[in-house]
Structure 1
Amino acid sequence: MDHQGFLYGYSSVAIAASLLLGILLFNELGFRLGRYVQEKTDDELKALTGAIQGSVLGLLALLLGFTFSMSMQRYDNRSMALIDEANAVGTAVLRVQLLPQELQPQANDLFKHYLGLRVEVGTIGLNDTQTRARFNNETAQVQAQLWALAMKAAELDPRPVTSGAFITALNEVIDSQGKRNALLQMQVPEVVLLLLFVVFMSSGAIMGYSSGLSGKRMFVPVMLVSVLITLIVFIIIDLDRPKRGLIQVNQSALVELYEAVAATKDVR
């Protein structure tokens, strides 16, 4: 069963916009607090506040780099898993020609149906658990039919260079489908994102507090830094949202294979 965290139910654009408003709000609160204690704070404490501000911003940069690396790696893994699945299915489709002649039409029909299911399920969000469960069950049924056909082929022609080669390819198809499904569930832990958000807000507050102590508001630099950090956070969240964010894995490899298999079948 697909399980997503709390944040997955919200749009990445809405989360990024909320973060931007949040950091600006905390910056304003920090500025007003800094202005309030300005006269009670000596130069040494102001310098110490500047050092703490640099440390917090350094921690934020570290977390941004770490989290971006995690989300990018997961996106790359999902992309490679789709390509591996397309290659595995393509190889199995070619090896259908090694099966006994009477089994080839059925195998082609099953692979056409299988590819159609894999392409269509790729457009369904992970939060639509009922629809995805239905597609996964139907996919498992087609896999079972293909495996039964492979066993029948092995009885008719037990040679490893014919039926054996097809069985090996079919096994890779099943493994690649399971691997791709597993990678869809591997995302950046939500606690890491929440920690990033806390440090994000704290950075806005400490920048505002430091400005308040100096008595000078730095609106343009703070706004620029806030917008840039928000954009990076948006990319991190969007990369980590399979089937939901704006940045999606390109399914053209599977789609082109499906179209090629369908066209070949239509010609026959």
Structure 2
Amino acid sequence: MNFVHFATDIAHVSGFSALGLFIGLLLVFGIGRYIGVRWLLATESEHTSAGLLDGAIFGLLGLLIAFTFSGAISRFDDRKEMVITEANAIGTAYLRLDLLAVETQPALRALFRQYLDARLEIYQKLPDLKATEVALVRANALQGEIWSAAVKACEVTGSVPTTNLLLTALNEMFDIATQRTVVALEMHPPTIIYVMLFSLALISAGLAGYTTAGIAKHSLTHMVVFAAIIAITVYVILDIEYPRLGLIRVNSVDRVLVELRKSME
């Protein structure tokens, strides 16, 4: 699936992007200091106005970091809530199978167990792309099988309220599955936001290097720490934005689905 390829590519790129940003910050910092040493402003008024400009740019960088970090955390929480929502939807549909004729229930319950196993594998197998795609295709195929079996079972039962209740629950179950596997992976900030973040980080590094040009003994440690903090922050933002594919995971929330699967035995 294309969206799985895209999300996995982003996860792989994020680590290299953070490393590249770290190296870039060090280089730009050095360039800024070199320029500052050669063309350091002479008058105090000019230096003061330049300091105000630096402060505005650093403030904008901090605001952009806070904005992207807050948005990533919010979407991270939404994804965890979606796991619980899916568990509730599957659990509700599974309980409504009790409304069907007794002889039609075992086959549908078996399909539900297979479907939930496939849904769990989709996320547990990440970042194994091939295994994830296999589980996703299997889950989608099982949706069709469950629907067909449910329609036939409703015909055997012959109850309109039962048909409405069960098919509505199945619709909700399939909708949240689509939302998790497709829509959630597309709910990210526009690329221009990350372009601005990287650009402002590099500009800020250049200005920081320029500002330290008047210091005779410049600390290399401060330069490295500055670059490391910015790069690590950007990496964490990207990792939160694309969970399960990096260091940050939401596997703990999957216990809700795991417990639901155990209750189906």
Shared fold per TM-score greater than 0.5 = yes
| Contact 1:184–1:242 (CA under 8 A) maintained in structure 2 | no
**What is aligned with 1:25?**
27
Taking the TM superposition and a 5 Å limit, the aligned residue runs for 1:105-144 are: 105-125=106-126, 128=129, 131-144=131-144
The CA distance in 2 between the partners of 1:22 and 1:6, in whole Å, is: 24
**What is aligned with 2:56?**
55
**What is aligned with 1:154?**
154
1:166 and 2:166 equivalent? yes
The CA distance in 2 between the partners of 1:99 and 1:48, in whole Å, is: 77
1:136-163 superposed Cα distances (whole Å, 9 cap, x missing partner): 3322221111111221122122324434
1:187-241 superposed Cα distances (whole Å, 9 cap, x missing partner): 2333211220111011010011011145563555554444333332222111011
1:260 and 2:228 equivalent? no
Is the partner of 1:10 in helix, strand or coil?
helix
| Code of the aligned partner of 1:29 | I
The CA distance in 2 between the partners of 1:93 and 1:108, in whole Å, is: 7
| Code of the aligned partner of 1:17 | L
| Contact 1:46–1:210 (CA under 8 A) maintained in structure 2 | no
| Contact 1:34–1:212 (CA under 8 A) maintained in structure 2 | yes
1:34 and 2:36 equivalent? yes
The CA distance in 2 between the partners of 1:19 and 1:144, in whole Å, is: 46
| Code of the aligned partner of 2:255 | S
Could you tell me the TM-score, scaled by structure 1's length?
0.86
Is the partner of 1:122 in helix, strand or coil?
helix
**What is aligned with 2:218?**
217
The CA distance in 2 between the partners of 1:57 and 1:71, in whole Å, is: 21
Q: Structure 1's 33 and 79: CA in aligned 2 closer, same or farther, altered over 3 A? A: same
The CA distance in 1 between the partners of 2:222 and 2:47, in whole Å, is: 19
Q: CA deviation at 1:53?
A: 1.1
Determine what percentage of the aligned residue pairs are the same residue: 31
**What is aligned with 1:189?**
190
1:89 and 2:110 equivalent? no
1:60-92 superposed Cα distances (whole Å, 9 cap, x missing partner): 011111111221222122111111111111111
Where structure 1 has 5 or more consecutive residues not aligned to the other structure, the ranges are none
Aligned length: 260
Is the partner of 2:124 in helix, strand or coil?
coil
| Contact 1:72–1:239 (CA under 8 A) maintained in structure 2 | yes
Q: CA deviation at 1:105?
A: 0.6
1:242-261 superposed Cα distances (whole Å, 9 cap, x missing partner): 33111112322222222332
Is the partner of 1:162 in helix, strand or coil?
helix
Is the partner of 2:2 in helix, strand or coil?
coil
The CA distance in 1 between the partners of 2:8 and 2:210, in whole Å, is: 31
The CA distance in 2 between the partners of 1:258 and 1:79, in whole Å, is: 18
Which deviates the most, 166-175 or 229-238?
A: 229-238
The CA distance in 2 between the partners of 1:9 and 1:147, in whole Å, is: 35
Q: Structure 1's 74 and 6: CA in aligned 2 closer, same or farther, altered over 3 A? A: same
The CA distance in 1 between the partners of 2:74 and 2:246, in whole Å, is: 16
Q: CA deviation at 1:103?
A: 1.0
Q: Structure 1's 224 and 9: CA in aligned 2 closer, same or farther, altered over 3 A? A: closer
The structure with the greater share of residues assigned to helix is 2
Over aligned residue pairs, what C-alpha RMSD do you find?
2.4
